[in-house]
């Protein structure tokens, strides 16, 4: 598999990695199998995958343990990327960026992963009550102590800006009365963006997606170099291409593309109205309502046309599109099934030509439940 540079050159990873979250978090619990997940990790290794992405909150904690068991004696073949900064509460998540917590979290992850060093340690979420420079400084101390090789930051604010803007536009145009908007008042902050309600409908300033993350990156970069940024990037969520990926490219920072298969939708295997179990995050996702899954079928159909020309799968075309964005991009498709891990790894050899890319660029934008009216 093609190798790509992550950061300043300290890390070299296969172009396609493996997101381990679905093995023990967020998706349908009844379909999880520790044995199959361990086989998936080893299959990925066999097909040239080197970067394995996990987090202490997945499970919580069990995902790191599973990955350690699966790698076993093959630890040296892998680049381990894990995260800190989020605690799992009673039905919610709490950010914790206190330096003392960061140090304890790293030691705990090292024990669970059965390793002496974490290749890429990522801040999962900035703590609004702790200056991010203090959190990042503690993480930099872990590099100095030899416990971590490189640092990364997870971006999470594109959807908050986009969704709030869409709903705010709808309110100003009088569309709120047709449904789909938030009903509670007040003020919230997400990703550094203040979202105030106007007559119960969220409104937000027009700001480029991921602009708040870039501001955080500029701050932490003054403390210690950022080696990688992880953010959602896919055919139906391309927002990172506007500001975030160019920022990374200009500074030699690696980009880890999360959810490159649109949480499974861009594989072409999900059908509108199929439903999801209550513990599956897609059961509450605006794009996974039966209506929106049907409305977004043209996106999958377009990818299927390109795939037919190349003798590839829809998922492989979706991944090849992500990899074509820039040589610093590493795709992190998540799966808990060994055959899918092998299929995803093979996407690294697929080269889309200019006609393919133009055809994909011309596909209709993906829609969400609250933009159905316009």
One DSSP character per residue, 46-105 reads: HTT--EEE--TTTTTTHHHHHHHHHHGGGGGG-EEEEEESEEE-SSSEEE---HHHHHHH
58 labelled catalytic? yes
CA 169/CA 352 separation, integer angstroms = 36
What is the DSSP pairing of strand 11-14 with strand 3-6?
antiparallel
The phi, psi pair for 287, rounded to 5°, reads: -85, -5
- Which residues are CB-contacts of 271 (< 8 A; sequence separation ≥ 6)? 293
Burial class (CB in 10 A: 0-12, 13-18, 19+), 184: exposed
d(CA 285, CA 266): 15
Q: Tell me if 103 sits within 8 A of 70, measured CB to CB.
A: no
Closest CA to 78 of 143, 14, 8: 14
* DSSP assigned state of 363: S
Q: What is the DSSP letter of 26?
A: S
The residue from 58, 121, 210, 265 that is catalytic is 58
Other Cβ atoms less than 10 A from the Cβ of 4: the count is: 24
Cα separation, 285 vs 302, whole angstroms: 23
Task: List all residues 6 or more positions away from 64 whose beta carbon is below 8 Å from its beta carbon.
Answer: 54, 55, 56, 58, 82, 109, 112, 113
What amino acid positions are annotated as catalytic residues?
A: 58
């Amino acid at each position: 598999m093609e190798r790509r540079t992550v950061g300043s050159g300290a890390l070299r990873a296969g172009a396609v990695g493996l997101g381990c979250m679905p093995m023990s978090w967020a998706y349908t619990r009844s379909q999880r199998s520790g044995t199959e997940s361990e086989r998936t990790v080893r299959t990925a290794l066999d097909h040239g995958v080197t970067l394995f992405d996990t987090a202490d909150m997945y499970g919580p904690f069990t995902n790191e343990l599973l990955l350690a068991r699966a790698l076993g004696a093959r630890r040296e073949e892998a680049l381990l990327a894990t995260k800190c900064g989020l605690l799992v509460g009673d039905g919610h998540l709490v950010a914790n960026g206190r330096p003392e917590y960061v140090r304890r979290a790293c030691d705990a992850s090292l024990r669970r992963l059965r390793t002496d060093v974490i290749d890429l340690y990522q801040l999962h979420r900035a703590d609004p009550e702790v200056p991010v420079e203090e959190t990042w400084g503690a993480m930099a101390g872990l590099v100095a102590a030899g416990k971590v090789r490189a640092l990364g930051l997870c971006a999470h604010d594109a959807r908050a800006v986009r969704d709030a803007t869409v709903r705010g536009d709808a309110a100003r145009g009088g569309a709120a009365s047709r449904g789909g908007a938030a009903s509670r008042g007040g003020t919230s902050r997400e990703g550094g963006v203040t979202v105030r309600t106007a007559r119960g409908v969220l409104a937000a300033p027009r700001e480029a997606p991921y602009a708040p993350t870039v501001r955080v990156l500029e701050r932490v970069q003054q403390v210690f170099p950022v080696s990688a940024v992880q953010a959602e990037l896919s055919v139906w969520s391309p927002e990172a291409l506007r500001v975030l990926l160019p920022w990374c490219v200009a500074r030699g920072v690696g980009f880890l593309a999360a959810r490159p298969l649109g949480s499974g939708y861009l594989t072409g295997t999900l059908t509108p109205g199929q439903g999801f179990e209550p513990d599956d995050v897609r059961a509450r996702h605006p794009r996974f309502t039966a209506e929106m899954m049907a409305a977004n079928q043209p996106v999958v159909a377009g990818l299927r046309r390109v795939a037919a020309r190349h003798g590839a799968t829809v998922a492989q075309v979706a991944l090849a599109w992500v990899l074509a964005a820039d040589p610093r991009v590493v795709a992190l498709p998540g799966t808990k099934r060994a055959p899918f891990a092998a299929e995803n790894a093979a996407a690294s050899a697929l080269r889309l030509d200019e006609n393919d890319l133009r055809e994909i660029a011309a596909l209709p934008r993906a829609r969400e439940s609250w933009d159905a009216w316009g």
